[in-house]
């Protein structure tokens, strides 16, 4: 078995450097990647699969706890080890599936124990119910995105999202109830949601296929009409030329088109 690939996440540079140094010294760890906040961590995870994330809890924007909750919805989530100065969040940490909870400053023996737990989790077979497919049950769970507004964090369900637009390293989720700016890159949502009825139609837009009510030629361009209701009226979004054929094909054959057919009126 090859060595572990891990991601260290901390918004404080000295703490991140120290954590990366200690992880790099461990003989069971082959590669250590680093991220200074949760948004960068999501980009790293979209580029390279990792075995474990060693994660601070208190970070600006998306917290470590919220990031762990988001990662728990992955079909093959990385193992989470919290590394924090807070000794009062262990219950919350294990509630989101963390394999260990380390207090700063780190001690070598505790880090060794955490790595051993990751190794044992990685080598353990995933239990399956009789006759079940190999895909874990969590793959069918509906993703949720934590949204911060006025100091309050709420959760937006994937199936409530009609379309998404890129706003730099952020994404704006458009739902019937309004729009929400979240610290998650559009590329990450595209990867997570492609098999759940979403399609990238443009470098700036991701749409829910069940909500598409039509395509329209506009000169040399193509526009896709996305049907909304309530506070989210229908909109037309541009389709990149290289995405037109794939979008038409998915609109015909994608099984997710039938799941919410009651909301796809023209």
Judged against a pLDDT cut of 60, whether residue 125 lies above it is answered with no
- Do residues 153 and 66 make contact, with C-beta atoms less than 8 angstroms apart? yes
pLDDT score recorded for residue 80: 95
Mean pLDDT of 145-155: 67
Q: What is the pTM of this model?
A: 0.54
Query: Could you tell me the fold of the domain covering 144-263?
Result: OB fold (Dihydrolipoamide Acetyltransferase, E2P) (2.40.50)
Of 66 and 165, more confident: 165
Judged against a pLDDT cut of 90, whether residue 43 lies above it is answered with no
Percentage of residues in the chain having pLDDT higher than 90: 41
User: In 3D, which of 74, 26, 141, 71 has the Cα closest to residue 82?
Assistant: 71
Judged against a pLDDT cut of 80, whether residue 261 lies above it is answered with no
Residues 76-108 have pLDDT tens digits of: 899 999 999 988 888 778 778 899 999 999 999
Mean pLDDT of 204-224: 92
Q: Where are the domains of the chain?
A: 4-123, 144-263
pLDDT score recorded for residue 128: 44
Mean pLDDT of 207-228: 90
pLDDT score recorded for residue 232: 63
Which listed CATH number (3.40.1710.10, 3.50.50.60, 3.10.310.30, 3.40.50.2300) goes with 4-123?
A: 3.40.50.2300
User: What per-residue string of b and e applies to 139-153 under the rule 16 or more CB within 10 Å gives b?
Assistant: eeeebbbbbbeeeee
Q: pLDDT-derived band of residue 195, with 50, 70 and 90 as boundaries?
A: confident
């Amino acid at each position: 078995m090859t060595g572990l690939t891990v991601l260290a996440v901390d918004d404080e540079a000295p703490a991140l450097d120290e954590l990366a140094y200690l992880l790099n010294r461990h003989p069971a760890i082959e590669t250590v990647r680093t991220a200074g906040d949760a948004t960068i961590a999501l980009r790293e995870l979209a580029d390279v699969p990792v075995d474990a994330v060693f994660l601070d809890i208190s970070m600006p924007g998306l917290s470590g706890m919220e990031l762990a909750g988001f990662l728990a919805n992955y079909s093959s989530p990385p193992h989470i080890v919290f590394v924090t100065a807070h000794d009062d969040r262990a219950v919350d940490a294990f509630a989101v599936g963390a394999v260990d909870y380390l207090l700063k400053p780190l001690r070598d023996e505790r880090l060794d124990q955490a790595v051993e737990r990751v190794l044992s989790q990685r080598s353990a077979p995933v239990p399956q119910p009789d006759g079940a497919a190999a895909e874990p049950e969590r793959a069918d769970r509906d993703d949720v995105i934590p949204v911060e507004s006025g100091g309050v964090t709420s959760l937006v369900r994937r199936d409530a999202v009609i379309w998404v637009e890129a706003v730099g390293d952020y994404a704006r989720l458009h739902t019937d109830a309004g729009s929400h700016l979240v610290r998650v890159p559009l590329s990450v949502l595209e990867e997570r949601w492609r098999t759940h009825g979403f399609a990238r139609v443009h470098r700036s837009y991701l749409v829910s296929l069940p909500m598409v009510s039509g395509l329209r030629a506009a000169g040399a361009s193509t526009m896709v009409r996305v049907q909304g209701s309530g506070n989210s009226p229908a909109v037309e979004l541009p389709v990149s030329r290289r995405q037109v054929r794939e979008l038409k094909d998915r609109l015909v054959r994608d099984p997710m088109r039938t799941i919410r057919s009651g909301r796809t009126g023209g």
